[in-house]
Structure 1
């Protein structure tokens, strides 16, 4: 069976994919990659490839999607399938980079938990922004990654390249999944990738924001199982 390698998003841990792992495991071994090495998206990808199986199905959410696209640049022959969740191929806008630098400054001043609690609700569908369970999961993951990890990952995201020119070169079967109310990487970003990839299927998850694996775990799990077994 083909191994599956999943890459978490910004300041996320393996807990991001906890609802999906049991179902995916029945179709092959599942590894959650660490994003704690590397100061750039390219560096993270290289570190993950160093420890990854020879060939694997690859998935990433948000920042994990940026890293997944970089893995396709560095070692396309090792990826047999691709899943891009709540992510985008575009680089940061100047406004987004400015916002990230402001958050970095606050975290460097010792405000990591306050920053995490501020941004966590914005990752969720409007109907879920008062869901304390979902907020606490995100805060817990962010605290586990830590302040240095937050700064390193945000800096890497600011410096990421535009992946759109290379999308047409990705020939593997791909599922692109996005929450219908994802405010960080809106559905039009996923539609853009789906239109550019030669073999892509787009899944828009209803009643869902940016944290799709946690907000709508059953829908996301079903889509990933279908992707793996197709």
Structure 2
């Protein structure tokens, strides 16, 4: 946002990105006009057991030393348990090929320790939680935790989707997201705008 000269704007985040978006809305409320999370953990204990185990250094080390078989397992079997979109196995495989041991460990370890419940009440901007009822990565009832902490939050549930409702129910997802963004629409506030540029 600093690089683009944007002072205040809506934030949309998927999974860990949504957890980060909530944290930004809590720490920098003046910078966030709305916050939208998709399949995001509010509490780290809501992560799937396999993911939590993989976040321990010894387990992550074993996985990365067996990356070939691990990628094959994830692409040919586990990915189909996570998302029904036929494009997803290749998408997951590409992501795994770019992941380093340290970045994986840091992200999972950080998520595992996360508990935003005591802080959610500080979020006063419009908030939207979008969760798939069949999520096998983050417990699908995390929407209840979000709504308990942010009573004014809107919740959208996708009964036929898992962790990736934007892929599994794209039309409904896009429509609900766009509707929320259009409500009380505000132009992102920019700073240091040259005089010859108009919004």
TMscore range, shorter length: 0.7 to 0.9
Q: 1:175 & 1:208 partners in 2: Cα distance?
A: 17
* Other-structure match for 2:142: 189
Q: Residues 146 and 218 from structure 1, CA distance in 2 versus in 1: closer, same or farther, beyond 3 angstroms?
A: farther
Please say if residues 104 and 154 of structure 1, whose CA atoms lie closer than 8 Å, have aligned partners that are also in contact: no
Q: 2:107 & 2:73 partners in 1: Cα distance?
A: 15
Please say if residues 170 and 198 of structure 1, whose CA atoms lie closer than 8 Å, have aligned partners that are also in contact: no
* Other-structure match for 1:120: 79
Q: Residues 93 and 56 from structure 1, CA distance in 2 versus in 1: closer, same or farther, beyond 3 angstroms?
A: closer
* Other-structure match for 2:89: 135
Displacement of 1:177 in angstroms is 0.6
Q: Which of structures 1 and 2 has the bigger CA Rg?
A: 2
Please say if residues 208 and 216 of structure 1, whose CA atoms lie closer than 8 Å, have aligned partners that are also in contact: yes
Counterparts in 2 of 1:12-31, with a 5 A limit?
none
Out of 92, 97, 106, which is 2:62 matched to? 106
RMSD: 2.6
Q: Residues 191 and 226 from structure 1, CA distance in 2 versus in 1: closer, same or farther, beyond 3 angstroms?
A: same
- Mind listing any 5+ residue stretches in structure 2 that lack a counterpart? 184-199
Q: Which TM-score applies when normalising by structure 2?
A: 0.75
Please say if residues 55 and 105 of structure 2, whose CA atoms lie closer than 8 Å, have aligned partners that are also in contact: no
Q: Residues 93 and 57 from structure 1, CA distance in 2 versus in 1: closer, same or farther, beyond 3 angstroms?
A: closer
Q: 1:197 & 1:174 partners in 2: Cα distance?
A: 8
Moved over 6 A (4+): none
Please say if residues 25 and 35 of structure 2, whose CA atoms lie closer than 8 Å, have aligned partners that are also in contact: no
Q: 1:103 & 1:224 partners in 2: Cα distance?
A: 37
Q: Which TM-score applies when normalising by structure 1?
A: 0.66
- Mind listing any 5+ residue stretches in structure 1 that lack a counterpart? 1-48
Displacement of 1:70 in angstroms is 1.7
